[in-house]
Structure 1
């Protein structure tokens, strides 16, 4: 009981300090709750992109609304409440955007907002994996898949055989496939 009372007093002092524009206390609160908010959102959305966005927007909202923070509620209660509301607002906004952009903006394999968000995360992971490939493999892969050049055209560009181009692309695809398979597990 004593610990709980002490914790509440400390939380109330932190809220008073934040309301008085104390950025140091705000930074401490950010450090203490950042991972927790991120995990809370990640657990519900399964999206790294949304978890990052919501976490940042939550702390921005918390700072902007510091004048109206309640001294009767803990920081955790207020932060998680804001995070939940920010998540709902962001999901609604994204749903509306997809609705008005139409099917052309959504890839064929996405049939819901969550699938679209997961696809964005997957594409970002793939792009990171492509950037981590050996230089020649990456160049050949990007010329083939992003620029649409034929194996023969790429071979002429680098003075290599079309078979070597084929091997680079095969290794690149295998690397992507293995990485994506490990991520999906």
Structure 2
């Protein structure tokens, strides 16, 4: 309870103690549930940011660990929902690109070139992983075996490629 009161009053040393004590525990808790190192790191970081920003709302009735794990759980769920939405958006965009290729209207050819250029701008490994996943329709395990990397690394590359493309594609398709 004293630790919570100190954090509520803005004591950075108490916050750092809590961070040191729970950072790894939170990371492995999230990793067990989402199986993604990237999402685990992001969730833990956001959990501590939220705790600090909302420190005045911390309850004195519950242990700091309980409150941290609740924040982490809700943050993880939010991130998973955002990722699912981003994946859905990108899959629709890739389907739209395929439709555009088949239809072949002149005004879409430039958009298609821009999207292809965005894919080509990815790092070599990320581009390869993305193409194997989305165009060759290989599973994460198949890609991992082919490139001699772990399935988690494949997942990480695909997630980051999707986020990059999604961010850039918003501008391309804004006027469609």
TM-score, with length taken from structure 1: 0.53
Q: Which runs of 5+ in 1 are unaligned?
A: 1-11, 112-116, 125-185
Q: What SS does the aligned partner of 1:16 have? A: helix
- Shift of residue 123, structure 1, vs aligned partner: 7.2
Higher relative contact order (CA 8 A, sep 6+): 2
Runs of 4+ in 1 over 2 A off after TM superposition: 103-111, 117-124
Pick from 137, 140, 155 the counterpart of residue 120 of structure 1: 155
CA deviation after TM superposition for structure 1 residue 26, in Å? 0.1
RMSD (CA atoms): 2.4
1:91 correspondence with 2:91: no
Task: Give the distance between the partners of 2:70 and 2:78, measured in 1 at CA.
Answer: 12
Q: Is the 8 A contact 2:43 2:72 kept in 1?
A: yes
Mind listing any 5+ residue stretches in structure 2 that lack a counterpart? 95-129, 141-150, 160-176
2:75 aligned with 1:46, yes or no? Answer: no
The 1-side partners of 2:158 and 2:91 are apart by 20
Give runs of aligned pairs for residues 30-179 of structure 1, distance below 5 A: 30-102=19-91, 104=94, 107=134, 108-109=137-138, 118=152, 119-121=154-156
Counterpart of 2:5 in 1: which secondary structure? helix
Pairs aligned (count): 108
Q: Does 1:16 align with 2:5?
A: yes
Contact 2:4 2:60 in 1 (8 A): yes
In 1: Cα distance, 2:27 partner to 2:79 partner: 15
Q: Name the SS of the counterpart of 1:102 in structure 2.
A: helix
Is the contact between residue 36 and residue 155 of structure 2 (CA under 8 Å) also seen in structure 1? no
Bigger-Rg structure (1/2)? 1
Counterpart Cα distance in 2 of 1:102 and 1:123 = 12
Secondary structure of 2:61's aligned partner: coil
Q: TM (normalized to structure 2)?
A: 0.56
